[in-house]
Structure 1
Amino acid sequence: MKNILLSLTLLFSFFSSFSQSDFTERQLIENTIDLYFEGWATGDTTKLSKVMHESCQLKNYREGQFFEYSKNKYLSFFKPHERTPNLETRIINIDITNNMGSAKVEISTSSRLFTDYFNLMKTSQGWKIADKVSTSKTHKTFDLGAIKPEKEILYEGLKRPWSMAFLTEKEVLISEKEGDLVKLNLETKTKTVIQGFPKDMADSIGFFHAGDNTGKFEVLIDPSFESNKYIYLSYAAQSSLGTTTKVIRAKLENNTLSQIKVLFVADPFSRDRYHYGGGMAFDAEGKLYFTVGERLFNEKDEPSLPLAQNIEDKRGKIYRINTDGSIPEDNPDFGKNATPGLYAIGIRAAQGLALNPNTKSIWFSEHGTHQGDEINILKPGANYGWPIKTTGKYRYTEYAPKAIEGSVYTDPKWFWTHTVAPTGLLFYKGDEFKAWNGNLLVGGLSRGSLWRIVMEGEIIKSTEELFVNDRMRIRKILQSPMGKLYILTDEQNGKLIRIKNKAF
């Protein structure tokens, strides 16, 4: 649930601009309900009236009887007062069809639990509550701060899944690194293969050897997917010269990819089958970021000017482009010979990218060699140092890179002193794990770790490893549209797992 103490300025501005592209319909409904909560908690009839349609009817079940009220009658019960002590609110679920919706919410006071069922409709003034049915009972207050995470396996049999993207609360796209792009229905547990994936994908099936990283990587849906049906995919592409990282856009309709557009090819193709990168994320403005790994396994193969430091070489970099593949005008300028779209250099093997919704900054995870695993905040034009500077050790112990005159390196925000192999990132925002709001969750392949990183602005204050007695190689962490928390495990029998709060 969104913080019910959002400023009234933001809430009222929402009603005057509900069609802004950076809000989803679900977020708009949440804003309506949050304002209802605030009015209920303080007896503010102006706020309550704002979110209720003029024709709104309210029904209450109490002591075995139904009571029905008009909007005006209902509002007459409220008087302005200080916020009710020990009051907690939460949105249980929201369902939307076109311009109609429904929601179940709870309001908990020190003595009673109120459960409301709303029908909502979208009007020219925003989403309004059309009617409400409610009931209440005496109870012990729910402690939204209590945290008891547990795992629930929802589906298994995935072929080393790499990424996922929710189409709806019930359907999720999953890219299998060693299999297909599939759509999984979480209710029926049925899996549908998406047709039309490019034929030039390289994978390790029939060619597997230790450390082979080929296959499908990220799947990402467009911020305007409901209208344009675009998705974005990264994968290891192959040619007669070897393999490399490729990023494409495609239209997804009728479980088939069409209108495929190549956005980026990280040539040159090479025989190395490592460190492709492939992580992708959108920023708050809808710009697309993606990572390309350095591709080398051992530092002894570095040229005199290391690949990740060479602005003319596409490897070992992070890029920022528009969704059609064009280059944003405000990208950093690395010089006339730099690869178009270049945003940051000095990257070894970054996979996870995530938007911090509070600061609007992009963060990324970075694989070291022996140790040197990092969490970084992405800055335009930054150089993250590899291989000149690292928090770990080199595989080739005799490697001694030469300093590059004039280079300034950006330090990580965090690094581990042991190997974690960090993958997907997620800034948690929700009600189920309320005490985790604003925390960064990070999955890891080494020893099968899941980390919770406590943030204060852009400063990492502390870290906690979760499920230390139940380790699984974790590839991706994501929340559903309703805020439910999921992970993908990196296994031949890969699993989609829901992380639930047992105390919730």
Structure 2
Amino acid sequence: MRQLRIATTLALAIMPLTMVSADTYTSSQGNFRLETVASGLEYPWAIAFLPNGDRLVTERAGRLRVIRDGKLLDEPVSGVPDVAARGQGGLLDLLLHPDFETNRLLFLSYAHRNAEGMTTRVARAEYRDGALHDLRVIFEAEPRSGTSRHFAGRLAIPADGYLYVAVGDRGERDRAQDIGDDAGGVHRITIDGETPEGNPFHDEDGSKTLFTLGNRNIQGMALHPETGELWSHEHGPRGGDEVNVIEAGTNYGWPVITYGINYNGTPITDQTHKEGMAQPLHYWDPSIAPSGMAFYTGDDFPQWQGDLFVGALKMQKLVRLELDGREITGEEDLLTDLGERIRAVSMGPDGHLWLLTDDSDGKVLRVMPAK
């Protein structure tokens, strides 16, 4: 993979956003506005769009909420599994099966706690009439840990039909280089929770579901609309947030190589490159704490077609990345005046970009053309 220079030294300078009015913004590609679809959500984490027009939103505290006809329903969906809402843990990602309209299947990732500690779990269920039915756990990262950090949790189903599950290093960095440990990588399973043949470490003495390793804490995954490739981004420590393409058996280097340092300013390693370990397509230094990502495929903003949008928690903004194949050729910061931590970025079936804000009074926002 081709390494790019630090974002602040890109040939195309970062273009700051200017607020035009209270709800209208401009970028280098024109004006847009934000529409508040719902508010009053407690740290929303993920959104899914149902065929009937309803939207489902996870709240980190452990609730699955319904937005119907522009209104957040008071009653949450029943049948949600027990969730450990501690530290960075809670109810996390939500993914509909590609054939949801027929089979009603969805997947939830969440933090779970028992006497042995905490871990990342994935459950599958059928959604009918405002309730989850036949819920069962299909993945559990092992071993558990006493920490409450870096659960990852992002989910994706590419064209191969398998479920890809991101698991963080749980704040115990060396676990990400151990193929016998489920932490710090992406896992590939069937929708029933079985291990597919052909997983890269299937025949080795390690995790049979492990698909990649050396991932610190993936907080965004999205399928490229043309190639079908699975793209991701992950949190670095102090610096070194990365954008990558997820490929079988790839070691993304954490913590052996990184562009970040410890939070106290001391070095983690003196290496940014090593043979056999992938370079990121792009990295941020300083960190922006990326969360959520989506490729723009709508019609309202033709100039955005194929661009990659990434939310930022720490830097409270939306980042637009211009692409030429796998090369990131430009970067623009949006919504820097909004004052909101952006947790999720999704393309809706209506052709609009949707955002979730990470707050005790979290919002569902839709990016619309300026009036």
Q: TM-score, normalised by structure 1?
A: 0.65
Separation of aligned partners in 2, 1:322 and 1:362: 16
Please state if 1:337 is matched with 2:212: no
Which among 277, 286, 296 is matched to residue 161 of structure 2? 286
Please state if 1:458 is matched with 2:326: yes
Separation of aligned partners in 1, 2:66 and 2:337: 31
Q: Which amino acid aligns with 1:358?
A: E
| Structure 2 segments unaligned to the other structure (5+ residues) | 1-27
Secondary structure at the residue paired with 1:227? helix
Report the CA distance between 1:216 and its aligned residue: 0.5
Separation of aligned partners in 2, 1:336 and 1:479: 38
Q: Which amino acid aligns with 2:97?
A: D
Separation of aligned partners in 2, 1:396 and 1:338: 33
Change (3 A) 1:486 1:388: same
Separation of aligned partners in 2, 1:266 and 1:396: 29
Flag the structure with more relative contact order, 1 or 2, with Cα contacts below 8 A and sequence separation at least 6.
2
Please state if 1:181 is matched with 2:64: yes
Separation of aligned partners in 1, 2:62 and 2:40: 11
Report the CA distance between 1:491 and its aligned residue: 0.2
Match of 2:18 in 1: none
Q: Which amino acid aligns with 2:64?
A: L
Separation of aligned partners in 2, 1:265 and 1:319: 10
Separation of aligned partners in 2, 1:215 and 1:249: 16
Match of 1:373 in 2: 241
Which among 159, 184, 189 is matched to residue 321 of structure 1? 189
Show CA shifts across 1:338-377 (max 9, x none): 2121110001111211000111100111101101111111
Which among 35, 42, 49 is matched to residue 159 of structure 1? 42
Q: Which amino acid aligns with 2:84?
A: A
Query: Which shows bigger deviation, 386-395 or 157-166?
Result: 386-395
Change (3 A) 1:295 1:442: same
Q: Does the 8 A contact of 1:447 with 1:471 survive in 2?
A: no
Secondary structure at the residue paired with 1:342? coil
Separation of aligned partners in 2, 1:399 and 1:354: 31
Please state if 1:168 is matched with 2:57: no
Separation of aligned partners in 2, 1:268 and 1:432: 46
Q: Does the 8 A contact of 1:319 with 1:344 survive in 2?
A: yes
Match of 2:148 in 1: 273
Separation of aligned partners in 2, 1:257 and 1:455: 39
- The size of the alignment, in residue pairs, is 342
Change (3 A) 1:336 1:330: closer
Query: Which shows bigger deviation, 318-327 or 426-435?
Result: 318-327
Match of 2:170 in 1: 295
Which among 100, 121, 128 is matched to residue 246 of structure 1? 121
Q: Does the 8 A contact of 1:163 with 1:217 survive in 2?
A: yes
Which among 187, 209, 215 is matched to residue 90 of structure 2? 215
Secondary structure at the residue paired with 1:175? strand
Show CA shifts across 1:307-361 (max 9, x none): 1000001100111112111222232236421212111000111121100011110
Q: Does the 8 A contact of 1:250 with 1:259 survive in 2?
A: yes
Report the CA distance between 1:407 and its aligned residue: 5.9
Q: Which amino acid aligns with 1:313?
A: D
Please state if 1:355 is matched with 2:223: yes
Q: Does the 8 A contact of 1:182 with 1:192 survive in 2?
A: yes
Runs of 4+ more than 6 Å apart: none
Q: Does the 8 A contact of 1:172 with 1:185 survive in 2?
A: yes
Separation of aligned partners in 2, 1:169 and 1:480: 13
Q: Does the 8 A contact of 1:159 with 1:179 survive in 2?
A: no
Report the CA distance between 1:434 and its aligned residue: 1.3
Show CA shifts across 1:230-249 (max 9, x none): 10000000101221100111
Which among 441, 447, 452 is matched to residue 315 of structure 2? 447
Match of 2:84 in 1: 202
Match of 1:498 in 2: 366
Which among 278, 297, 303 is matched to residue 429 of structure 1? 297
Report the CA distance between 1:419 and its aligned residue: 1.5
Report the CA distance between 1:398 and its aligned residue: 5.6
Please state if 1:150 is matched with 2:150: no
Report the CA distance between 1:402 and its aligned residue: 10
Percent identical pairs in the alignment equals 35
Please state if 1:193 is matched with 2:76: yes
Show CA shifts across 1:74-128 (max 9, x none): xxxxxxxxxxxxxxxxxxxxxxxxxxxxxxxxxxxxxxxxxxxxxxxxxxxxxxx
Change (3 A) 1:381 1:174: same
Show CA shifts across 1:143-180 (max 9, x none): xx963121121211000000010003631110001241
Q: Does the 8 A contact of 1:334 with 1:381 survive in 2?
A: no
Superposition map of 1:125-136 within 5 A: none
Q: TM-score, normalised by structure 2?
A: 0.87
> Which has the larger Rg?
1
Q: Does the 8 A contact of 2:199 with 2:208 survive in 1?
A: no
Higher helix share: 1
Secondary structure at the residue paired with 2:176? helix
